[in-house]
Amino acid sequence: MEKLVIEGGRRLKGEVEVSGSKNSALPIMAAALLTDEPCVIENVPKLRDTLTMAKLLRTLGKAVDFENNTLKIVSRGPVSHVAEYKLVSTMRGSFCVLGPLLAKLGIAKVSLPGGCVIGVRPVDLHLKGIAGLGARITIDAGYIIAKSKRLKGNHLYLGGVFGSSVLATANVMMAATLAQGVTTIDSAACEPEVEDLANFLISMGAKIKGHGGPQITITGVKKLHGTTYRIISDRIEAGTYVLLAAATKNNNIVIKNASLTHLMALVDALQQSGIRVTQDQGKIYVKSNQTLKPVSITTHPYPGFPTDLQAQFMVLMALVPGVTVINDKVYPDRFIHIAELNRMGANIRREGTNAIVQGAKHLFGAPVMASDLRASAALVIAGLAAKGTTEIHRMYHLDRGYEDLDSKLQALGARIRREKE
């Protein structure tokens, strides 16, 4: 195992390039199961999660070639309908092979993914949607078994207690592309990654309308064909670098290959605090006032403030004088980073589903433990902003979602290195 060692407090400057979106790449890779023809996907970040999905596709019978951020997915014989626990349990994103396998093969056996540190994370909305398309669903020894000779279009409502679900919308939309008749999904997730997936499916010959909004209509077709498609850049990675620039008070970091279109909730919160975020031709600039104001946020499904930037925003507020309330309406238990940030001198307490942040003057380097992907990114920002040395243990979480993070930060002048534990 490796740890990340960061010497904080250095001035950072230069350009950092954002990679392709992880959360687009995972369902889009799964969608390649809907055709026997080759699919070429460009701008795919090389991460532990995309490598895991490539491995899963290989175990299902596809040949996958992953070179220079381009994936070629080709058939090499019949595809298996069984997605094993070994792989699905390591990454929830792999549960979205359920819809494509069922639609293409008429049967799918996919391991239930289980929970993770950010919450229980049920899959009831995935199953409700798939059952709504006429599939018979049973659970056997931790596996979902779904069967249907040909799925049938239906009018479905996919809102849940916590709002819409990104991967449930993705799963059901993929399944509906090959169903008989028209499917309408109400309370569909509006996340840009769902829109990206829909555009990928359309490039394969699917008939989809309304993607990017809360009602998606899919008219089933008999067959989908191969395609070449470039996925969007990663808005969460871009937002992480924006927050890194803001928290480390560096006005000379330029974020390349990114767009603010998908980050308006973050831009608005930062503006209220006194940080101007602007965009010019694919580059993002961040300029902070000397004195920042505390800003409270609540996370919501898109276009609300993203839960995947909540921990990183908390680090910024931990350094702004005054009191901030942070509430996560998407994952109410996603607060494991509080204890680690407090070890670095932050003053944050949890009250029910709120985190109350009392801004401190400085954070101080300390040994800390990464718990999940975005919490780890928050610790990196805290480490760069802090005085002294921070050691982040269990840093493998970061490799799940941030491509070349250490080298990108080194290029900005950060003192950051990996060491063996």
Active site residues: 116
Interacting stretch for ligand UD1, rule CB under 6 A, among 33-41, 124-132, 221-229, 358-366? 124-132
Name which of 220, 114, 129 is nearest 168 in CA terms: 129
Contacts for 67 with CB less than 8 Å, ≥ 6 apart: none
| Partners of 416 in the β-ladder | 6
Structure tokens at 112: 């239930």
Q: Is residue 270 near ligand UD1 by the rule CB under 6 A?
A: no
Cβ proximity to ligand UD1: between 118 and 344 the closer is 118
Select from 61, 122, 214, 294 the one that contacts ligand UD1 (CB under 6 A). Answer: 122
Name the 3-class secondary structure at 298.
strand
Q: Is residue 308 near ligand UD1 by the rule CB under 6 A?
A: yes
Type of residue at 348 = I
Q: Under a CB-based contact definition with an 8 Å cutoff, are residues 418 and 396 in contact? A: no
Query: Which positions from 125 through 144 interact with ligand UD1, judged by CB under 6 A?
Result: 125-126
Cβ proximity to ligand UD1: between 193 and 340 the closer is 193
Q: Is residue 210 near ligand UD1 by the rule CB under 6 A?
A: no
Interacting stretch for ligand UD1, rule CB under 6 A, among 117-125, 176-184, 223-231, 362-370? 117-125
The angle, 0 to 180 degrees and rounded to 10, between the axes of the packed helices 22-31 and 235-247 is 170
Q: 56-77 as b/e, with b when 16 or more CB fall inside 10 Å?
A: bbeebebebebeebebbbebee
Minimum separation from the CB atom of position 132 to ligand UD1 (A) = 13
Select from 10, 55, 92, 147 the one that contacts ligand UD1 (CB under 6 A). Answer: 92
Interacting stretch for ligand UD1, rule CB under 6 A, among 79-87, 121-129, 241-249, 272-280? 121-129
Q: Is residue 38 near ligand UD1 by the rule CB under 6 A?
A: no
Q: Is residue 167 near ligand UD1 by the rule CB under 6 A?
A: yes
Minimum separation from the CB atom of position 216 to ligand UD1 (A) = 15
φ/ψ of residue 316, rounded to 5: -60, -45
Longest dimension (CA), the chain: 64
Name the 3-class secondary structure at 176.
helix
Cβ proximity to ligand UD1: between 5 and 265 the closer is 265
How many CB atoms neighbour CB 97 within 10 A?
A: 28
The angle, 0 to 180 degrees and rounded to 10, between the axes of the packed helices 166-176 and 124-132 is 20
Size of the site for ligand UD1 (CB under 6 A): 24
Cβ proximity to ligand UD1: between 53 and 103 the closer is 53
Cβ proximity to ligand UD1: between 10 and 329 the closer is 329
Select from 6, 54, 101, 168 the one that contacts ligand UD1 (CB under 6 A). Answer: 168
* Dihedral angle, C-alpha 249, 254, 256, 260, nearest 10 °: 60
Q: Is residue 172 near ligand UD1 by the rule CB under 6 A?
A: no
Q: Is residue 330 near ligand UD1 by the rule CB under 6 A?
A: yes
- Cα–Cα–Cα angle for 406, 69, 116, rounded to 5 degrees: 60
Select from 10, 55, 58, 121 the one that contacts ligand UD1 (CB under 6 A). Answer: 121
Cβ proximity to ligand UD1: between 39 and 144 the closer is 144
Sheet with strand 389-393: strands edge to edge: 367-369, 389-393, 2-7, 415-420
Number of DSSP helices (H) and strands (E) in the chain, helices first: 14, 24
How many CB atoms neighbour CB 265 within 10 A?
A: 19
Q: Is residue 5 near ligand UD1 by the rule CB under 6 A?
A: no
Q: Is residue 307 near ligand UD1 by the rule CB under 6 A?
A: yes
Select from 8, 20, 45, 93 the one that contacts ligand UD1 (CB under 6 A). Answer: 93
Q: Is residue 110 near ligand UD1 by the rule CB under 6 A?
A: no
**DSSP secondary structure string for all residues of 126-166:** HHHHHHHTT-EEEEETTEEEEE-SS-B--EEE--BTTB--H
Select from 38, 61, 160, 413 the one that contacts ligand UD1 (CB under 6 A). Answer: 160
The binding site for ligand UD1 (CB under 6 A) comprises 23, 26, 92-93, 119, 121-126, 160-162, 165-168, 189, 193, 307-308, 330-331
